[in-house]
Amino acid sequence: MSTITSFLTRTRGTKKLHFTDIITYFYLFLGTVLMFGPVIWLVLSSFKTQAEIVTFPPRLLPYRQETVVVEGYEDPLPLFEVTLEDGSTAELAQVRRIGLESQLIDPANPDEIIKVPIDQREPIEKVVFSLDNYIEGVESFNFARYLRNSVIVTIFATLLTLLINSMAAFALAKYHFKGREAIFFIMLSTLMVPLSVILVPVFLVITTINWNNNLLGVIVPAAATPTGLFLLRQYMLTIPDELLDAARMDGASEWRIYSQIILPLSKPALAVLTIFSVMWRWNDFLWPLIVLSRSEFFTLQVGLNSFQGELNVQWNLILAMTVLTLLPITFVFALLQRNITTGIATTGMK
């Protein structure tokens, strides 16, 4: 305990904990609860049964009534803590309930039926993290299909984004050619117009080339991202031209210079763009929503949204599927959080 206290009070080089430090740590504690709390609540709730999910007020942990298998009864019987007429309590299994009366038996002595008013019994519960919601959800939600689509879109879109943007960035950073300024200006001016503004006409283009209900229609249109192009170009400008000239003297082709010199040297910028692209594509919603109207092509985000819009929403299943959807991103974040946060801080983009 004293080590913890001394650890916590060892701040700012001064001997005592200043009151601003207390405010600081209080703020950080509150922030941690607010940021992680909702996600933790989601995860805890996703293990609850359908009956428990609608009980109010909600309980923190997922409980499940204990059951017991008694000879002569096919299904496991729910266990109750029963207050008997003489005031003593006993653990009994309920056989059936008729109106306000409950018929119970002692598991040790299954022949004798005890009749008790229902307010004299309390269910016996234990905390269970059951995967039932996950199993049922994956079956009824077609999770595997949506996951497959999301993974395909994310991987191929990211590869395409990296390839075409790094090529164009190389040309714009390392060559002087006619039209360079014009290309630059056009791209710069579209930086401010988001895809959501040109929804209708892009959909016309997609329909004309028959790409709706085709993952290509989700992958290709946003691959030429001006943000990524500028990020890469700015980075490539710092690579010295002498390196390129030396390679040319040695007879390297322009493509070789790009693939063997420029690309390896631009790794940090490429890494940042990779992280962004994965994040954009995995979380993308509006565009897949428009291009994909048949459910077998849905990505996870579109599928999840249509699942919650169905009649008779089964929250227990939705919660389980939501957890599965946020799991991969959370995993990547836990592994790469340092790269991600510094990457964003230095480039200032998302």
Partner 1 sequence: MTTQSLGSSISEGFSRFSYAISNLVVSILDFIFGTLQRLVGIKGMPYIFVLPNLLVFGIFILFPMLLNFVYAFTGGSQFFLDQRPWVGTANFEQLLTCDNFLDPNTCYQDRFWRSIFGTMAYVLGQVAWMVVISIITALILNRSIRARGFFRSVFFYPVLLSPIVVALIWKWILQENGLLNGIIVSLGYEKLPFLVDAQWARFWVIGISVWAFMGFYTLILLAGLQSIPADLYEAASIDGANEWNSFWSITLPLLMPTMIVVLVLSLIRAVQVFDIVFAFTGGGPGTATLYIVQYIYENGFASPNKLYGIAAGASLLMAGTLVVLTLVQLRLRREEV
State how far the Cα of 236 lies from the Cα of 102, in Å rounded to an integer: 77
State how far the Cα of 226 lies from the Cα of 190, in Å rounded to an integer: 8
H-state helical runs in the chain: 2-9, 19-45, 50-53, 132-141, 143-174, 180-190, 199-208, 215-219, 226-237, 241-249, 254-256, 263-265, 267-283, 286-291, 300-309, 315-347
Q: Closest approach of Cβ 109 to partner 1, in Å? A: 40
Q: Which residues contact 93 (CB under 8 A, 6 or more apart)?
A: 67, 68, 70, 77, 78, 79, 80, 104, 105, 106, 107
DSSP letter string, 128-151: ----HHHHHHHHHHTHHHHHHHHH
Q: Which residues contact 349 (CB under 8 A, 6 or more apart)?
A: 227, 231, 276
The alpha carbon of 304 is separated from its chain's Cα centroid by a whole number of angstroms, namely 11
Cβ nearer to partner 1, comparing 107 with 333? 333
Checking phi first, is residue 117 left (phi over 0); if not, alpha (psi -120 to 50) or beta?
A: beta
Q: Closest approach of Cβ 152 to partner 1, in Å? A: 15
Q: Closest approach of Cβ 27 to partner 1, in Å? A: 5
Cβ nearer to partner 1, comparing 67 with 283? 283
Cβ nearer to partner 1, comparing 269 with 290? 290
Residue 299's nearest CA partner among 198, 152, 195 is 152
Q: Closest approach of Cβ 33 to partner 1, in Å? A: 10
Cβ nearer to partner 1, comparing 91 with 254? 254
Q: Closest approach of Cβ 321 to partner 1, in Å? A: 9
Q: Closest approach of Cβ 164 to partner 1, in Å? A: 4
Tell me, what DSSP letter sits at residue 75?
S
Q: Closest approach of Cβ 128 to partner 1, in Å? A: 20
Cβ nearer to partner 1, comparing 38 with 76? 38
Q: Closest approach of Cβ 79 to partner 1, in Å? A: 26
Cβ nearer to partner 1, comparing 116 with 244? 244
Cβ nearer to partner 1, comparing 82 with 219? 219
Cβ nearer to partner 1, comparing 78 with 303? 303
- Written as six digits, the tokens of 24 are 């600081």
Q: Closest approach of Cβ 196 to partner 1, in Å? A: 5
Q: Which residues contact 112 (CB under 8 A, 6 or more apart)?
A: 105, 106
Q: Closest approach of Cβ 86 to partner 1, in Å? A: 35
Cβ nearer to partner 1, comparing 58 with 117? 58
Beta carbons of 91 and 81 less than 8 angstroms apart: yes
Residue 289, helix vs strand vs coil: helix
State how far the Cα of 34 lies from the Cα of 29, in Å rounded to an integer: 9
Cβ nearer to partner 1, comparing 79 with 173? 173
Residue 178 CB-half CA count within 13 A: 0
